[in-house]
Every structure is written in structure tokens, then in C-alpha cells.
Structure 1
Amino acid sequence: MEIKGFQLSYCSNIHPGESWEATFENLTKYIPEVKNRLSVDKPFGIGLRLSNEASLILEKPEQLAEFKNWLEAEGAYVFTLNGFPYGDFHRTAVKDQVHFPDWTTTDRRDYTVRSFKILAQLLPESIDGGISTSPVSYRHWFKSESALNAGMKTATQHLLEVVEELVEIKKQTGKSMHLDIEPEPDGILENSDEMIWLFSDWLLPIGKPWLAEKLGISEDEAENRIKEHIQVCYDVCHFAIVYEKPADTFAKFEKAGINIGKIQISAALRVLIPHEPAARDLLKVNLLPFEESTYLHQVVAKRKDGTLNSYSDLPEALKVLDTTDEEEWRIHFHVPVFLDNYGALASTQDQISIVLNEILKNPSIANHLEVETYTWEVLPEDTRLNLGESISRELAWVIEKLN
């Protein structure tokens, strides 16, 4: 829905199911409920999670027509897609496979292009559209610098081929759409500096001459096309985990001429490490319910001198809790945005408030906002709510903040 000039929704990756049938069933069940709970009487924007399997069905004209008819009847529209998880995302061990297939593969490129062609047919005329995607790949899959460089070269070419498609779609339809790359811990891109590195060392040096020749335009124009069609997905949880300050990050992207296509509103777990052994034992007991087998829960620790240390998953960090000299942990576990603590545990909810204040002061930072708490099924039982109520409470909290 539009509020204060922003497009706001929740990401439907909260719902289990990879097929289009399951995706559509969830939308028809929950969108009317959420609209009713929020008393929405204007068009309701949807952040659609579309798996590769679902995209192969929805691209068929008869399926797309049925969905468009439902959207019109329901008073809803789609302005953003989550194209990060390609395949299974619930009720299975996802872990690092959330990155597979990565941007070194034609499968990832083709799925993304297909998704953009679908979005172009769903997107209202007056709104730009975006699809969030993987931060190129999972960094621990690359065992040497030469392997990483080879992977980056291939991935860059695939990203530029998406840009070429988006330029053509805009020429045909007038609709501007952007691929929103989502840095996250242990991705090849996990912070603002690495996102800028993607542009400065890969996309622009390789892309400007390539795209200029392909399209018969100048290299300056090619740079503008690249920066229009490849942007950042700023996941508040992810940037909080790596201890970035929103205002500083936004300023860095502005200076580099990199746009933010989407802000995903999400919160991470945050804990201060006590000194006393008994208190550490209690902290471990409180964290154990969050040690689950579906998703990666990377931990970034901060020491007294400000240096950071990373763990690839929560169980790895818990092994050293008794002896570590670290003072704070931020844990990649998306928790409800409307709570700032979970008993003895805290969240990075304050970072969401800071981000919302920043964009209210400067709306040009980003105009797509998407609540993305996808972990309801694996949260400890005492933090779970009815799913429709959960979605509505999160959106209501964000609306209150924006107002």
C-alpha cells in the first residue's frame, strides 16, 4: 500500500510452498485477512516471493491472466518480488543452499529474467518495480582468490545480461525495473564497501564498454543504465549484523551513485556477553531455542576494541561462549519487528526506527519498503502468533512509525 509516498508490503516468503498453486492459495487466504485487520480501504501492495518452479507456471498467459483478475478483484497489486530463494525455502534444511544456484549460473540469470518479464505485466504504470536477489554467491564456496575472481567475472556477465533485458523491457513498456542485490553475512557481498566494490571493480569496468557496444550508446549512458537497473536491497537486519550505521551507509551509496531499490524491514537478535560464568550459562540456555536446522544464523561478534569476528552459524558461536572475550553478538535470525526484546534477549529493532527516520527526512533514499520476517515457523513457541495476526502486527507497527 502507499503510505507517506512509500510502497509498503510484507514479503510472501513468510508462507511455505514452492509451487504456484501453493503461493496463490496463501495469497488468497492471507491478503484479505491482513487487509481486514489493518482496515485497508485502498490498493494493497504485495511483495511476492516467486520460486523458480512457480515462475515457470505463472509466466503462462492463462495463469497470469487469472492472477491479474484476482489482483484487480481484491484491490491489490505487485510492485516487488523476492528472487533470492530459487527453490525450497521452508520445512527443509536450507542453510547455505539458499544461494544455489548462484549468479555464476545461467539458471539464476534465466529465473531472474523470467521473473522480471512477469513483474512487467503485473506492475502498475506509475510505479517502478524491483526484484531482490542473492549477493552473488556464498563466499565459503570459493576456496581461493583465483576461484573467486573467476566466479565474479562470470557472475558480472550474467548481471549485465539482466541489465540488457531490463533496458529492452523499459523500451517496450515504459516501465523501469531494477535488480536489488541483497548483501548478507557470508555472502560474497556482505556490507556497503563490498557492494560498492561490485560496481567499481566489476560492473562498471566490464559493463560500460560491453553495454555501450551492445546498445549503441556512450559509455556514460551505459553507466547510467547499469546504475538504474542494478540497485541495492538494504535489509536492515543484515546491515545491523555487520554493525553499519544507516546514515553512514546511505551517504556512502549516494556518494558512489548507487541507488537503494528496496529496504527490507527486519530485525536481528542482539545479545551482550556477560562476564560471569553463570550468566553465560544462562545466556546459552536462552539462545538454544534459536539453534535450529533450517536456516543459517550467522553471528557477527564485536570486541571491546571494535574489531569484528564472524561465525558461519549459531552453533559454531555457542561452542566458544564460555571463553570468548567478545562483548556483543548480532545473530542472523529474523525476529518480529514489533518486539524489542525476547525475555533476556534483545533485538536490533532500534535500527529499523533509525532507518525509517532517515527515509522520512530524505524520501529519495528508497521508496520500496518490505517487512521480511520469514522465520515464524522456526521461532521459539512463546514468540509465535497466528500468521495473519503476525503479518498485520508487523505492518501496523511500521505504519505507526511512519506516521
Structure 2
Amino acid sequence: MIRTLIATLSCSLLWFALVAGDDAPETRWWKGNTHTHTLWSDGRAAPEWVAKQYVDGGYDFLVLSDHNTIQAGERWFPVSEDGSSRLSPKELDGLIAEFGAEAVQLRTTETGREMRLLTLPELRQRFEVPGEFLFIQGEEVTSHFRSTGEKPVNYPVHINAVNIEAYIAPRGGDSVSDLLNESLEAIIAHGEESGRPVLAHLNHPNFGWGVTWQDVARMGADRFFEVYNGHRGVRSHGDETHPSTESIWDQALTLRLTALGLGPLFGVATDDAHDYYGGLTSQSGRGWIMVRSASLDGDSLVRAMRAGEFYASSGVTLDDVQMGDGAYRVSIRAQPGETFVTRFVGTRIVDGTVATVGEVLAEQAGLSAVYEPKGDELYIRAVVTSSRLHPNPYAEGDREMAWGQPWVR
């Protein structure tokens, strides 16, 4: 497993070195969300309505990551006249008003009206524009580990598979860590079999307190997790006995880079949207990623992410992030009336021993921040916080932020 990870990382870095040469095409930042739900699973809107939210919101790419399914085949969804379904007559009327009666296929059965859900190929035909908007096929591979004893507990393990070709069945395991790695390995194997780059990221580790920081550290087949998830039920800030997702990142990075030898762990931001008609629990637009790539296609975006060429955001826009030439550099896009603080976070090795895990190495105000390593840092990552309160926050009082990927020296 470790050999596979190292080989994959080496290939990703080799690819990035090749495309970053003198003759390489110019890169730019692309905005996208890799965790989104529709009526194909537990989302509360038709897939075309969901897609429109992201197109209108200025996104460049979108992954519809419904639970244990992809948007394929024929499926009909009931229209509720009494509130028992997630598709009401009012919402159906909104679809017809927006897209036209000819674009909404209905039928009447013994139990009432039903609407056919659009497939991903149909959505692509309707919304995709080369160089402007792209769907990447995905799935939230959803499992749980059930403990034994007098009071068994279900520990949820949810992993998003990105840029896949077909449905991937959920896996099992003898522990949370075993199940997690079995699932990651199945996703990576799917990519190898289909001949395309894929990516797997662990979702909301604190949801149901399902995945510990030690489990995150031991992810062997892939190295991505959600440092930010906009769903208000996933406990991203932790509590008195559970670390926040940011603390999980630092603890897992430290263990991976010392005792486990597993390499870096990258942080993703998503909105995990389910609500599109006013519900506040999990709305679209709370978090996203910005990927630096020469082109807007699934393979290129995944390769760029595998090379660490992206950052996570809940509102802050970075013009540039650079690691190398003796420094970690961040350039922040100015916004009227906003100020910014950048914290450089890392773990140091002092006298051969791990010092404080995830300590603030430096803090700088302004639109640019630079950290020059002292030589004892195991890794360095950047966190930018705006003075602006998030307009639609995960939790009250949250400010808009951005997270750079760790620089491992």
C-alpha cells in the first residue's frame, strides 16, 4: 500500500514538473465543488436545479456525489401532494417555469405523479460549455462500521470518489481503519482499471464521530480529506473530547510524516449541499476548492490536485500560492473593506523529538504573506482568515477563510 502511494505521488509530481516546463500552457484557477447531493440520493432538489445553482454561482466544475449511486439509468421520483416526498408540486412548477414543460418528463401511476430524474449525460448536454463549466462524475461511497458489545455503535465512513467511470460498491472491514482503506483501495483500483486518474477524499471525519485522527493518519491508498464541510451536522469544530478537523489535519500529518512514513495529507473544502429551497442545514456555496490547471477537464483537474496544486476556501480568494525557493508565499485578492491575517502552521522536530503539534509558526497581516522555514519544520501549511463574517456560515461567528496545502520539506 505504501509503495502504491509513493508511486502515485511520484507520478503526480512528475506530471506537474512536465506541464510546468517552459513550453507548458498557461495555468489558471478553476472553482469547483466535489461534494453535492440531488434527488438521486438524499438531496432535496432535482439534479438540473442543483446544477443551475452552481452555474449561476460562478463555479467552473461540479461533482454530483450522491450516496452509493451515479446518475445513470431510468429513475422516477414521486411528486408529493402532502409533503411526504422531497419533490413538491411547487418545486415541480419551478422546474417547468425554469426549463420548460418539454424538459420535464412526468407520468402518472396508481400512487400519483412521478418525474424522471435526468442522468449525468443529459445534464452534461444541457449545462456543459467547454472551458466554462464541467461535470466530473462522482459518488459518495457510503459505509459504516458496526462495533460489537452490548450497545453496538455505527461509525459512518463516507468517501467521495472523483472522476470515476462507473458505480463503485461500498466496502466492509474489521475496523473503521480497515473499512476506510478497503474503500480507498477500491476507488484507486477503479481508476487503474479504467485508465483514468481518480481521486478519493474522506468526508466529514467527525460526522457521527465516525473516524478518528488516527484513522485519518493511516489512510494509505489516498491522501485527501475534508478540512472544511459546510453541512451543519458534521461537527467540524469538534467538542471537548474530539478535535476539530483542522486539529485532525495537524495530528494526522505529524503521524504520517514521522512514524508511518505515508507522506502528506491534503485538505479539501466542500459544501456537502442537500438544501436548495431555503433549508439552512447544508446549503450550496459554503465551501469549495480552487484548482490550478491548464485546462478544464476531469483528468487535468485530478492530476493537478494529486500534485497539491489547489487550495480550499470558504470565501477567501488567493491570487497565488507558491512553495519553494526557500519560502512559502501566499498572495490574497483584495476585497473592499476586508483585512486578512495569514497563519503559518506546522509541527517542528526539536532535538529529534516532535514538539507542539500544529503550532502557529508565524502570523502576518496584509495581502501577502511569506514564511521562510527555519529548518526544523516537519511541514508548513497556510491558513488565511478574513475580517468578513461568512454570509452563510457553517456555524455562527465563522469568518471567511482559505487553507493552503502542506509543504513537506
TM-score (norm 2): 0.36
Higher strand share: 2
Higher helix share: 1
TM-score (norm 1): 0.37
